[in-house]
């Protein structure tokens, strides 16, 4: 894992998030830091900026090697394999890769072809996350997507043919005018592509999006509930075990990069708007965030980092639990002290109250939400607010 410096605090595993902030066009539901790309992308300039950004952040690595890298967006598959190759080589010159490192790239149907996927694979990228959302034309149109259902299927075919035996498909449900059958059709079509992992998100309306100001008509709550239950049953029957609110995987194929977030591991974040969570050797936790707009991030007169904040000790229980309680199996109780440096007794009173309310399982060895607690995660977390 990692070194200890000074006290008894063992630094957590370290991951790297790399943000690519451009898309072909902006989807009306999306509040991620993504911007419509112009006719050309400043690939080389951006790769140089990412590496310079990483140079500054290396002070937080403390001799750890990277357990995972995630290229997220935006649409990282807009970048050429040449540019990503230069970036990955530059990262590896600066920080060692763990021997079994997981390297994931988000790819959108309609933004790549077979040769590009082969190129990515040869760089050591060993996992793809393909943004499908739906296989139904009317739904894709309502979501403003640039691809159709056939292209989404072809994307999965290409991934496999390029040697990606580990890939995720992103789907959304609770879409405008969606019936249970529509949602199950999407899941069945996805499962037929044999992905190792499925992310199945309920569509949410986010501030500062087109859907927020002009909301489409969404299924009623009862129908959303039925879709959720029917989908979960289908996924379980097909061998995709739910391990997080929206994440389902074949055995042993959970996303290691995401598991690191949910077990309160450390991560560096480089690129426009990227966030990081970093432990200090004396057991404090720092959150940092980078300049959000691509043109500002690329402006040599401006700093990459836009802000940082050391978390206060009384915020740590909430911050830790906000992550681990998303996991269906929660986490071993001792992980709380390992990650926060605080004694487990600090949670005692809130734990008993959450158990009494039926939101937390009465298990002294683990921190894990009950089914009711997962459903009312905010109520559960309220118990641990400072």
Ligand X SMILES: C[S@@+](CC[C@H](N)C(=O)[O-])C[C@H]1O[C@@H](n2cnc3c(N)ncnc32)[C@H](O)[C@@H]1O
Examine residue 72 and tell whether it contacts ligand X (CB under 6 A).
Answer: yes
Please answer whether residues 206 and 213 qualify as being in contact, where contact means their C-beta atoms are separated by less than 8 angstroms: no
Contact stretch for ligand X (CB under 6 A) within 71-79, 113-121, 180-188, 277-285: 71-79
Using the minimum distance from each CB to ligand X, give the nearer residue, 70 or 264. 70
> Residue 21 to residues 238, 294, 343: CA-CA distances in angstroms?
35, 7, 40
Using the minimum distance from each CB to ligand X, give the nearer residue, 17 or 336. 17
Using the minimum distance from each CB to ligand X, give the nearer residue, 145 or 351. 145
Residue-by-residue DSSP string for 117-148:
HHHHHHTT--EEEEEEE-S-HHHHHHTT-SS-
Examine residue 131 and tell whether it contacts ligand X (CB under 6 A).
Answer: yes
Distance CA 314, CA 318 (A): 8
| Residue 85 binds which of ligand X, ligand SF4, none (CB < 5-8 A, kind-dependent) | none
Examine residue 168 and tell whether it contacts ligand X (CB under 6 A).
Answer: no
| Positions in the binding site for ligand SF4 (CB under 6 A) | 23, 26-27, 30, 32, 34, 73-75, 108, 131
| Residue 26 binds which of ligand X, ligand SF4, none (CB < 5-8 A, kind-dependent) | ligand SF4
Taking CB positions, which residue lies at the least distance from ligand X?
Answer: 131
Contact stretch for ligand X (CB under 6 A) within 84-92, 202-210, 219-227, 263-271: 202-210
Taking the complex as a whole, the smallest distance from the CB of residue 363 to ligand X amounts, in Å, to 31
Residue 76 sits at φ, ψ, to 5 deg, of -60, -25
Contact stretch for ligand X (CB under 6 A) within 69-77, 86-94, 298-306, 377-385: 69-77
Using the minimum distance from each CB to ligand X, give the nearer residue, 172 or 278. 172
Query: Could you say which residues in the range 204-223 bind ligand X, by CB under 6 A?
Result: 204, 206
Examine residue 12 and tell whether it contacts ligand X (CB under 6 A).
Answer: no
Mark residue 208 as left, alpha or beta (left: phi above 0; alpha: psi -120 to 50; beta: remaining).
Answer: left
67, 75, 126, 196: which one binds ligand X (CB under 6 A): 75
Distance CA 182, CA 218 (A): 14
* Number of CB atoms found within 10 A of residue 222's CB: 8
Q: What angle do CA 169, 173, 174 make, to 5 degrees?
A: 170
Using the minimum distance from each CB to ligand SF4, give the nearer residue, 32 or 212. 32
Give the dihedral of Cα atoms 94, 107, 70, 78; nearest 10 deg.
Answer: 30
Taking the complex as a whole, the smallest distance from the CB of residue 62 to ligand X amounts, in Å, to 29
Cα four-point dihedral sign 324, 325, 330, 333: positive
Distance CA 386, CA 374 (A): 21
Please answer whether residues 148 and 189 qualify as being in contact, where contact means their C-beta atoms are separated by less than 8 angstroms: no
Contact residues for ligand X, defined by CB under 6 A: 29-30, 32, 72-73, 75, 106, 108, 131, 133, 170, 172, 201, 203-204, 206
């Amino acid at each position: 894992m990692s070194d200890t410096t000074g006290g008894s605090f063992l630094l957590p595993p370290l991951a790297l998030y790399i943000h690519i902030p451009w898309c072909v066009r902006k989807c009306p539901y999306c509040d991620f830091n993504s911007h419509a790309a112009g006719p050309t992308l400043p690939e080389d300039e951006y790769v140089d900026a990412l590496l310079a950004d990483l140079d500054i952040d290396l002070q937080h690595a403390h001799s750890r090697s990277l357990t995972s890298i995630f290229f997220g967006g935006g649409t990282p598959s807009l970048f050429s394999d040449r540019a990503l190759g230069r970036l990955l080589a530059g990262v590896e010159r600066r920080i060692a890769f763990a021997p079994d490192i997981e390297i994931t790239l988000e790819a959108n149907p309609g933004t790549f072809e077979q040769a590009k996927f082969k190129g990515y694979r040869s760089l050591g990228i060993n996992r793809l996350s393909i943004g499908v959302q739906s296989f139904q034309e009317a739904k894709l149109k309502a979501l403003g997507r640039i691809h159709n259902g056939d292209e989404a299927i072809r994307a999965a075919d290409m991934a496999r043919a390029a040697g990606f035996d580990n890939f995720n498909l992103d789907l959304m449900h609770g879409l405008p005018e969606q019936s249970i059958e529509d949602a199950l059709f999407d899941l069945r079509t996805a499962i037929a592509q044999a992905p190792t992992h499925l992310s199945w998100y309920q569509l949410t309306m986010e501030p500062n999006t087109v859907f927020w100001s002009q909301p489409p008509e969404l299924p009623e709550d009862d129908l959303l509930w039925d879709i959720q239950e029917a989908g979960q049953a289908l996924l379980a029957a097909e061998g995709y075990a739910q391990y997080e609110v929206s994440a389902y995987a074949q055995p042993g194929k959970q996303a290691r990069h995401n598991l690191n977030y949910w077990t309160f591991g450390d991560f560096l974040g480089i690129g426009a708007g990227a966030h990081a969570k970093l432990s200090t050797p004396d057991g404090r936790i720092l959150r940092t965030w980078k300049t959000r707009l691509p043109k500002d991030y690329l402006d040599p007169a401006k700093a990459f980092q836009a802000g940082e904040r050391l978390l206060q000790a009384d915020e740590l229980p909430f911050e830790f639990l906000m992550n681990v309680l998303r996991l269906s199996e929660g986490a071993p109780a001792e992980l709380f002290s390992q990650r926060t440096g605080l004694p487990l007794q600090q949670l005692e009173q809130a734990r008993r109250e959450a158990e009494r309310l039926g939101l937390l399982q009465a298990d002294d060895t683990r921190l894990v939400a009950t089914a009711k607690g997962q459903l009312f995660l905010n109520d559960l977390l309220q118990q641990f607010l400072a």
